Amino acid sequence: MDPISEIKERLFAIKDIPDVEAFSSEIHQLKGWRKSLERLYDEVNWAKPPKQVGPLHQAFALWKLGRKQRAIGILKPKASDEIAGVLLARYQIDAGSSDAAVKVLVGFLKKKTRSIHVKTTMLEAMRRSGDLEGWSKKVRQWEGDLKGRADYLYQKGRHSEENGEYYEAMETYRNGLKTHPDHRGMLFRQALLEQRLGSVEQAIVLYERIRELRPTYVNALINLSVLYEDQAQYEKSLRVLKDVLAEYPNHARARRFKRDVVASMDMYYDEDLERKHDKRMQVLRTPVTDFELSVRSRNCLKQMNIETLGDLVTKTEQELLSHKNFGETSLAEIKAMLAQRNLRLGMVKKGEDIPGFNDARSGRNRELLSRPIGELELSVRSRKCMERMNIATIGELCNMSDQDLLAVRNFGQTSLVEIRTKLGELSLKLKGDP
């Protein structure tokens, strides 16, 4: 059966909410479903449709094609019908009109409806509209009617979250997923809680389960891509974002995140150079007292406040010789000692920062802290997080704690390690770090 015929058969067979739910998921499994649905919609004479075709089918087709307001407009005149009313309310919730959805559903509740779809949709509408007190009351009141239902368990878990009972919420989701393993809402909330509580690997497992479901759950996949990027698994992160863009080619966030990931993949990291740099930093931090210098040379260096090799290489021969009691013999001794470590006097100009080495006594730290944050050469993700927090200088960053940074959207452990490494190279640290 060709896709158009299959979609036509399934679309016109919709009679109630479970039919809508089932086909809403299954249609995404059909290759080229969007073009086929567009052709079908254009072919049907909706002014004089076949007898079995009604507003429910037209609204479903419009909604799937992204014409949301038209779908809502089709259902509004039919809102007195319970099936059309529930579908209308769900579309209104998704479109951000939860207050309107509540008004639609109140009429059915006044008629003492026993529909589980009315009640579960009402719970979501009340929660989204901000009526948390009324929502909380209904969650408790309807437990007997809705107990064991997937959408109710989701609401019950959200209720626990709202009360700060995160572990209780996780237990509700875990139990709910045993009987409803493909419920995207519970999978997403469970993954989000695992992520927030530090169980990143478990969060990834749950997000990957959502990734297999249709329609594509965009927020879950973007979270998954961020976790992969935080772990420097850029190829995986990119594949996840491509999944989103395959379904929603113009999704702004996914396109922006994709650009960031590609930029991260293009960053060059010379591991050998980094090892050499680390070795050089260790040498520069070595105290001059560790070397067998003459008493005169040691005393002169002490009087000049030269404590490390890093201090010493900022001095020129003339500066050393200008000091009282420092002669050619001491100079030759110092130069020989430095040459053994591939260092030399004057190799760093006075006032110039040596990456990873700073003389706090000279006030150079104060100058360093006033420098622009851009000089740290952070990754794209970390740089964007700095922009969100309006951090303009290195000093402002040092006034932030690790918890301050981790509270920022998209700032993860990988970014935190990067920040600490960059600051550590400059002998700086975050607020509260040992």
Series of mean pLDDT values for 10-residue runs along the chain (434 residues): 84 92 88 89 81 88 92 94 96 94 95 93 96 96 95 96 93 96 96 89 96 91 92 91 89 87 64 56 78 84 85 86 85 85 72 43 56 80 80 83 82 86 84 77
Is the peptide bond prior to 49 cis by the omega test (within 30 degrees of 0)? no
Hey, what are 76's tokens?
A: 């509004």
Residue 267's pLDDT is what?
54
Q: Which residues 6+ apart lie within 8 Å of 82 measured at CB?
A: 108, 113, 115, 118
Residue 281's pLDDT is what?
67
Nearest to 74, CA basis, from 58, 95, 91, 87? 58
Q: What share of the chain is helix, strand, coil (3-state, %, to 5)?
A: 70, 0, 30
Residue 72's pLDDT is what?
96
Enumerate the CATH 1.10.150.20 domain ranges in the chain, comma separated.
271-339, 360-425
**Cβ–Cβ under 8 Å, residues 208 and 224:** yes
Residue 23's pLDDT is what?
92
Q: Which residues 6+ apart lie within 8 Å of 412 measured at CB?
A: 226, 227, 230, 406
Q: How far is CA 42 from the centre of its chain?
A: 40
Burial environment of residue 5 by CB neighbours within 10 A (0 to 12, 13 to 18, 19 or more) = exposed
Hey, what are 125's tokens?
A: 């509408």
CATH of 271-339, one of 1.10.760.10, 2.70.98.50, 1.10.10.10, 1.10.150.20: 1.10.150.20
3-state secondary structure of 189: helix
Question: In whole angstroms, what is the distance from residue 67 CA to residue 179 CA?
Answer: 34
Please give the single-letter amino acid code of residue 423: L
Alpha helical stretches, state H, 304-412: 309-312, 317-321, 328-339, 364-369, 380-388, 394-398, 402-406
Is pTM beyond 0.85 here?
Answer: no
Residue 280's pLDDT is what?
66
Question: In whole angstroms, what is the distance from residue 434 CA to residue 421 CA?
Answer: 14
- Which fold, 360-425? DNA polymerase; domain 1 (1.10.150)
Residue 344's pLDDT is what?
82
Three-point CA angle 183, 184, 185, nearest 5°: 95
CA gyration radius for the chain?
32
Residue 359's pLDDT is what?
39
Question: In whole angstroms, what is the distance from residue 250 CA to residue 120 CA?
Answer: 32
Three-point CA angle 250, 255, 258, nearest 5°: 150
Q: Which residues 6+ apart lie within 8 Å of 48 measured at CB?
A: none
Nearest to 220, CA basis, from 253, 175, 260, 171? 253
